[in-house]
Amino acid sequence: MAVNTIWVFAEAFQGKPLSGTLELLTKARQLGGTVEAFYAGGDADAIAPQLGAYGATKVYTTGDLGDALLGTPVAAAMAAQIEAGNRPDLVLFAMTYDGRDVAGRLSAKLDRPVLTNGLDIAVDGDVVTVGTAIFGGNTLVTTAYKSDPPFLAIFRPKSFAPEEGGGATPEVVTVDVPDTGAAGAAKVLDRHVEERSGPKLDEAAVVVSGGRGLGDAEKFEMIEELAKLLKGAPGASRAIVDAGWVPYAYQVGQTGKTVKPTVYIACGISGATQHMVGMKGAKNIIAINKDKDAPIFSIADLGVVGDVHKVVPKLIEALKARG
Amino acid sequence: MRAMNVVVCVKQIPDPASPGQLDPSDHTLVRQGKLILDDSDAYGVEMGLRLAEAAGGGEVTLVSMAPNSEVSGLRTALAMGAAKAILVSDDTLKGSDALSTAKVLAAAIQRANPDLVLAATESTDGYTGTTPAQVAELLGWPSVTFAKHIEVTGGAVKVDRQTEAGYDQVECPLPALVTVTAGVVEPRYPSFKGIMAAKNKPVDELEVADLGLSPDQVGWSGARQAIIDVSAAEERKAGEIIEDEGDAHERVVSYLEQLKVI
């Protein structure tokens, strides 16, 4: 068996496909075979042209699922297609909140394993392997599926570069959503969108992050000011998110955002492995930390052993003086 | 008010402070030495205790799967206030993948018959992050992942669920499974009294056969994935390190200029 058909669980926000979705469509196209998207939402017709441009030749949609949390109904709809004989060899998910829910539930429904935290995927004849990194990224592991297909895999953001393939607008096919009973009873009552100004953390060319070394929550203002001066986005370590200094949306790391900016400036961050996983893909890393033994210095291109409360304000003044 | 029985799935892991290792012969995580309670599970334990207290009755039961009848991590959670534990420990479990683990946990949870199951969003050592959704699907229950706030009212659980854009308010009927983020609640430290009491709290140790699972569903024989290669990642090298003598910001500015960021 080679890989003939690949499904990508497609997600969109405000009518625009997520970057992770476009990354996976691009990779799926490169693997060969037929690429199809599986989308949950009432606006499949509107986003189909963009999914097609990145490689989808067909878009399955559940239609509008109303206030249902996506995991259960989408997994049930996928499983129903597969059980009816519409069988993909591979189903790819981006590592999003809903992506993980759908993949986990589909895995249990089909009794197939799901490989997670993927950074790469390869097909060699009958063997499909997924590459992941462990121990904070210092060890690469290649895992092969031993089950029958479909093979399920979840990929970390930015594992592949999205590239348009110039495909036509795909056919949109509405699929049945089986009754999921109690398992599908979770309902979204309300959605809160937290407003942020400036570039998005995972898209910014410059990211300035603060950690425990800032000392207290108010000092995060200087991180925001420095980020603004560099037209970048402020980020944070898990320690100060857990401490409640900044919202979770700022978190860079294993459980937060993966960023790959041109410059990452870590201020008062020691460099726990779970933080490094999210930022070691930055092209250039500047670290400012009092502790000369902080692990962050082992990956920094420019390390400043010094007090963030002294270095950062002077840096801000110097940048302001440049106008 | 009705009593609220909560199962908290907890994992006992090698101390994350010491560097992780893979066994070169079978590529499993080396779990020698004392295992500790995964930090991320302390939030679920605390949340479970508070929900049982708020309901005015009920208790927290821990469910864990571990090699060699390991209980040191469980004792930490029992010392926080959990009433008892179910530990599935069996030689045949070695090599279990996430789905096999989910089958074991789901079967153990069913024995406890809880109103609510809490778990961390992912473990600190393996971090596949799919086991909770798999458990919920196997139980046929609704699930809400990435909770940053939880309330139980009238047979339903209300959760503020983390999203890309902010958070969603989600409601679902009990029984249900909820995964909690670190922000959900501040875990208590076990008191001396709690630590002493934990020594005598019941730990029900089960084997795979006790759960009605066959040995070929778990461990190496049940795993449908195999690590075929392990290699060292290309190391990022440390670059220039300078000590701040009051002018380090100037070097940062010139570096940013060099990168054409400014």
Q: Is residue B253 part of a domain?
A: no
- Average pLDDT of the segment spanning B55-59: 93
pLDDT of residue A193: 87
Q: Is residue B230 part of a domain?
A: no
Q: What six digits make up the tokens of A280? A: 């070691």
The three-state secondary structure class of B147 is strand
Q: Is residue B131 part of a domain?
A: yes
Round the average pLDDT of chain B to a whole number and report it: 91
CATH number for B98: 3.40.50.620
Which of B142, B167, B262 comes nearest A185 by C-beta?
A: B142
Contact B224 A146 (CB under 8 A): yes
Smallest CA–CA distance from B106 into chain A, residue: A108
pLDDT, tens only, A246-292:
988 899 998 788 899 999 999 999 998 889 989 988 999 999 999 99
Q: Is residue B139 part of a domain?
A: yes
pLDDT above 90: residue B190: yes
The interface predicted TM-score of the complex, written ipTM, equals 0.91
Q: Is residue B103 part of a domain?
A: yes
**Chain A, window 111-150: residues with a beta carbon less than 8 angstroms from a chain B beta carbon:** 111-117, 129, 133-135, 137-147
pLDDT of residue B43: 94
Q: Which residues of B touch A90 (CB under 8 A)?
A: none
* Residue range of the domain that includes B200: 6-222
**Chain B, window 5-34: residues with a beta carbon less than 8 angstroms from a chain A beta carbon:** 16, 19-20, 22, 27
Q: What six digits make up the tokens of A227? A: 């980020």
pLDDT above 90: residue B254: yes
What pairs with residue B150 in β-bridges? Answer: B159
Residue pair B178/B136 in contact (Cβ under 8 Å)? The answer is no
Portion of chain A with pLDDT greater than 70, in percent = 99
Number of domains within chain B? 1
Would you mind telling me the total number of residues written for chain B in this entry?
262
Q: Is residue B44 part of a domain?
A: yes
Domains and CATH numbers, chain A: 5-184 (3.40.50.620), 206-322 (3.40.50.1220)
Residue where the block lists tokens 């501040």 = B186
Element (H, E) at A16: strand A16-17
Q: Which residues contact B196 (CB under 8 A, 6 or more apart)?
A: none
Contact B136 A183 (CB under 8 A): yes
**Chain A, window 166-185: residues with a beta carbon less than 8 angstroms from a chain B beta carbon:** 181-185
- Average pLDDT of the segment spanning A198-219: 93
pLDDT of residue A274: 85
Question: Where is pLDDT greater, at B101 or B221?
Answer: B101
The Cα–Cα gap between B129 and A65 comes to 24
Report yes or no: A75 at the B interface, CB cutoff 8 Å.
yes
pLDDT, tens only, B106-127:
999 999 999 999 999 888 777 7
pLDDT, tens only, A112-165:
999 999 999 999 988 999 999 887 677 889 999 998 999 999 999 889 999 999
| A94-98, B138-142, B220-224: least confident range | B220-224
Amino acid identity at B28: T
Portion of chain A with pLDDT greater than 90, in percent = 83
The Cα–Cα gap between A95 and A72 comes to 16
The Cα–Cα gap between B81 and B52 comes to 11
pLDDT of residue A1: 54
**Cα torsion A190, A196, A199, A205: sign:** negative
- Average pLDDT of the segment spanning A190-206: 86
pLDDT above 80: residue A195: no
Q: Which is nearest to A207 in space by CA: A192, A184, A193, A226?
A: A226
Q: Is residue B68 part of a domain?
A: yes
Q: Is residue B134 part of a domain?
A: yes
pLDDT above 70: residue B1: no
The Cα–Cα gap between B62 and B30 comes to 24
- Average pLDDT of the segment spanning A201-222: 94
- Average pLDDT of the segment spanning A25-32: 95
According to DSSP, the β-strands at B156-162 and B166-173 are: antiparallel
pLDDT, tens only, B191-216:
999 999 999 999 999 999 999 998 88
pLDDT, tens only, A82-125:
999 999 999 999 999 999 999 999 999 999 999 999 999 999 98
DSSP 8-state assignment for residue B190: P
Mutation target to probe the B interface, by most B beta carbons within 10 A, among A141, A200, A202, A263 is: A141
Q: Which residues of A touch B124 (CB under 8 A)?
A: 274
